[in-house]
């Protein structure tokens, strides 16, 4: 748990010495009069320039408590410039002329010569420098207070988004003075979102004051600041410690549920990668009884296709990605058909030899990519709509690229399923899977089916590569890291069974994610591997055994 600024909050209001301020005000009035006489142009404000000058004048003191009081006064005044004053004061860009009585706002303090404007009229005042303008200094207490003042100021002004942001910042920052202004603000506020935030802020303030009535509002709120404050209260000797503890427990259990949801999402997204990688394998293995060890390299080819299309279309990652979907399918599919026609066809009925030969092909493809593209990893850019995360609430956020892969996986799966279910090719593929000899005697051209199936499986591998390029770097070893896992998925799910592959891939992904926080990533993987090995002992046909007679 990370400590937040809520925990080391200091008491807010400070009381300055009244006498000193009074004297300064007199001086201020005099100086303002003088300045006015000299001829400062009039401003369009609800306060007179004299009053504005006086307000700023009050800031010109070395006593931070007096300064805080002056800031309060500014916030409470009707001056139209007050928000900008406080903001620039916070940034250290509000200052006073060294040899005069004018106040300036430094619009850009990056160089040695600063462009400055008059703080009251906002008119261009040429340039100033460290030698001609003394900026007002602030300390940490003052900074905290200024932030709070600015937040409550922006509450009353601006559009809904600004007010909401201001209200959010207020949570945990409320003190006795601002509590009142927030309460009035609440009456005038119309937006329900802003109202909810304000109510939360007020409720937390009341709870911190030992008032149990605020607790009901806080129940089930996932904000970390609230959780931390409540934890402090529950551990203190406050009269409502026990009640706060109850609410806290409720919040914690809600958080735990969302965290489980997060784990499930990570698991499903890892699982969808496995499914994408394994499903092509499941098709070729199921139909032809062929172990294609080069499958991982076909995935790699799909990923490299994405990278190449992106190189050809610089600055348009979205279009490139969309083009890469058919591109990756075709490139990998073409390589697949080439492999089937040139090697696998001649090794019919010798699964172990096929395994070795395709492994040889995988080595050749890997080295080919290394020679052609370099052994270094390549980065594929994600389009804007796959970057960032979808923040559902404080405890649950879904990374968009992983969500995209999950959806893509389901779409590919549905398409494959429909292909197998409703097309002539699918019918023939299923026939050959069930009984090759019988299918052939019914006039199915098994050799052609083999070729197309292998092409299809390879194409799907290419699609997996396109998806993988969005979540990891593209390199020559990309395929190798997935091949063992995808074989396990196929074996776990049952050979030649699309649903089995889906369920197996997703469950392996989720199991892996659930185990990870307990035992670490590597050991989780080892446990899953051993688990699958043991599972195969029990059910050699996998989760979903193929029905009917297999040849």
Partner 1 sequence: MSLATMFKRNSLLDERSTWITSIVLIVGMLAVVVLHALPPEHAWHLNGSVVTLLGKYLTYMLLALAVDLIWGYLGILSLGHGAFFALGGYAMGLYLTAQQAPLAPWQTVMAHFPVAALAMVLAPGLLALVFGWLAFRSRVTGVYFSIITQALTFALMLAFNRNEMDMGGSTGLTRFDELLGFSLASESMSVALFVASGVAVLLAFWGCKAVTRSRLGRVCMATRDAEARVRFIGYRVEHVKLAVFVLSAMIAGIAGALYVPQVGIINPSTFAPLFSIEVVVWVALGGRATLYGALLGALVVNYLKTLLTGVMPDAWLFLLGGLFVVVTMFLPQGVAGVLARLRRRREVAA
Q: Which residues bind partner 1 (CB under 8 A)?
A: 291, 343, 346-347, 350-357, 359-364, 366-368, 370-371, 480, 484, 487-488, 491, 520, 522-523, 525-526, 529-530, 532-534, 536-538, 540
Q: 431 vs 490, which CB is nearer to partner 1?
A: 490
Q: 214 vs 493, which CB is nearer to partner 1?
A: 493
Report the candidate in 326, 335, 287, 293 with the shortest Cα–Cα distance to residue 435.
287
Query: Residue 116's beta-bridge partner residues?
Result: 106
Q: 37 vs 352, which CB is nearer to partner 1?
A: 352
Q: 105 vs 491, which CB is nearer to partner 1?
A: 491
Rounded distance between C-alpha atoms, residue 31 and residue 529, angstroms: 82
Report the candidate in 42, 65, 55, 143 with the shortest Cα–Cα distance to residue 103.
55
Shortest reach from residue 272's CB to partner 1, in Å: 21
CB atoms within 10 A of CB 295: 30
Contact 279, 439 (CB under 8 A): no
Rounded distance between C-alpha atoms, residue 539 and residue 492, angstroms: 9
Shortest reach from residue 535's CB to partner 1, in Å: 10
Alpha helices in 469-520 (DSSP H): 480-493, 498-519
Q: Is 418 exposed, middle or buried (0-12, 13-18, 19+ CB in 10 A)?
A: exposed
Rounded distance between C-alpha atoms, residue 510 and residue 416, angstroms: 23
Q: 346 vs 422, which CB is nearer to partner 1?
A: 346
Distances (CA, A) of 104 to 111, 149, 258, 306: 16, 21, 50, 55
Contact 68, 137 (CB under 8 A): no
Shortest reach from residue 303's CB to partner 1, in Å: 19
Q: Which residues contact 484 (CB under 8 A, 6 or more apart)?
A: none
Which residue's structure tokens are 């600024």? 5
Shortest reach from residue 523's CB to partner 1, in Å: 7
Report the candidate in 373, 248, 386, 377 with the shortest Cα–Cα distance to residue 317.
386
Shortest reach from residue 534's CB to partner 1, in Å: 7
Q: 239 vs 540, which CB is nearer to partner 1?
A: 540
Q: 43 vs 483, which CB is nearer to partner 1?
A: 483
Shortest reach from residue 483's CB to partner 1, in Å: 8
Report the candidate in 3, 9, 1 with the shortest Cα–Cα distance to residue 208.
9
Q: How far apart are the first and last CA of the chain?
A: 59
Backbone dihedral angles phi then psi of residue 115, each to the nearest 5 degrees: -70, 130
Shortest reach from residue 542's CB to partner 1, in Å: 10
Q: 392 vs 519, which CB is nearer to partner 1?
A: 519
Q: 22 vs 520, which CB is nearer to partner 1?
A: 520
Q: 242 vs 519, which CB is nearer to partner 1?
A: 519
Which residue's structure tokens are 């290419």? 462
Shortest reach from residue 524's CB to partner 1, in Å: 10
Shortest reach from residue 336's CB to partner 1, in Å: 16
Shortest reach from residue 495's CB to partner 1, in Å: 9
Q: Which residues contact 415 (CB under 8 A, 6 or more apart)?
A: none
Rounded distance between C-alpha atoms, residue 322 and residue 333, angstroms: 17
Rounded distance between C-alpha atoms, residue 471 and residue 121, angstroms: 53
């Amino acid at each position: 748990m990370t400590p937040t600024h809520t925990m080391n909050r200091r008491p807010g209001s400070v009381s300055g010495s009244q006498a000193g301020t009074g004297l300064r005000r007199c001086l201020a009035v005099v100086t303002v009069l003088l300045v006015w006489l000299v001829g400062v142009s009039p401003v369009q404000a609800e306060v007179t320039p004299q009053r504005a000058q006086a307000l700023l004048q009050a800031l010109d003191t070395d006593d931070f408590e007096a300064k805080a009081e002056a800031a309060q006064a500014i916030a409470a005044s009707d001056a139209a410039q007050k928000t900008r004053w406080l903001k620039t004061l916070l940034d250290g860009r509000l200052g006073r002329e060294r040899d005069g009585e004018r106040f300036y706002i430094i619009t850009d303090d990056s160089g040695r010569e600063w462009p400055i404007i008059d703080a009251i009229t906002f008119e261009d005042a040429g340039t100033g420098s460290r030698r001609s303008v003394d900026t007002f200094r602030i300390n940490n207490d003052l900074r905290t207070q200024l932030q709070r003042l600015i937040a409550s100021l922006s509450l009353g002004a601006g559009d809904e988004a600004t007010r909401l942001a201001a209200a959010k910042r207020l949570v945990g920052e409320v003190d006795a003075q601002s509590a009142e202004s927030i309460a009035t603000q609440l009456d005038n506020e119309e937006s329900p979102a802003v109202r909810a935030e304000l109510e939360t802020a007020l409720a937390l303030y009341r709870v911190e004051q030992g008032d149990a009535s605020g607790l009901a509002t806080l129940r089930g709120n996932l904000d970390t600041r609230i959780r931390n404050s409540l934890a402090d209260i529950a551990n203190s000797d406050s009269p409502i410690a026990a009640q706060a503890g109850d609410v806290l427990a409720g919040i914690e259990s809600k958080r735990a549920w969302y965290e489980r949801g997060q784990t499930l999402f990570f698991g499903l997204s890892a699982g969808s990668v496995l499914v994408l990688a394994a499903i092509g394998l499941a098709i070729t293995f199921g139909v032809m009884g062929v172990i294609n060890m080069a499958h991982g390299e076909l995935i790699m080819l799909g990923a490299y296709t994405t990278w190449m299309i992106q190189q050809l279309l610089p600055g348009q990652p979205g279009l490139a990605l969309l083009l890469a979907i058919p591109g990756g399918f075709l490139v990998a599919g073409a390589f697949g058909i080439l492999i089937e026609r040139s090697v696998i066809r001649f090794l019919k009925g010798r699964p172990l030899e096929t395994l070795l030969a395709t492994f040889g092909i995988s080595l050749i493809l890997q080295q080919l990519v290394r020679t052609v593209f370099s052994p270094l990893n390549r980065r594929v850019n994600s389009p804007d709509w796959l970057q960032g995360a979808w923040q559902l609430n404080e405890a649950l956020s879904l990374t968009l690229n992983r969500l995209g892969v999950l959806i893509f996986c389901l779409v590919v799966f549905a398409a494959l399923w429909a292909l197998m279910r409703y097309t002539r090719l699918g019918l023939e593929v299923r026939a050959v899977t069930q009984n090759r000899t019988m299918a052939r005697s019914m006039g199915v051209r098994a050799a052609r089916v083999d070729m197309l199936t292998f092409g299809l499986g390879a194409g799907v591998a290419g699609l997996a590569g396109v998806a993988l390029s969005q979540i990891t770097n593209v390199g020559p070893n990309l395929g190798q890291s997935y091949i063992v896992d995808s074989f396990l998925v196929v074996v776990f799910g049952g050979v030649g069974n699309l649903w089995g592959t889906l369920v197996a891939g997703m469950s392996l992904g989720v199991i892996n994610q659930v185990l990870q926080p307990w035992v670490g990533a590597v050991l989780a993987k080892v446990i899953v591997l051993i688990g699958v090995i043991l599972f195969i002992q029990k059910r050699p046909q996998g989760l979903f055994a193929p029905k009917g007679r297999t040849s």
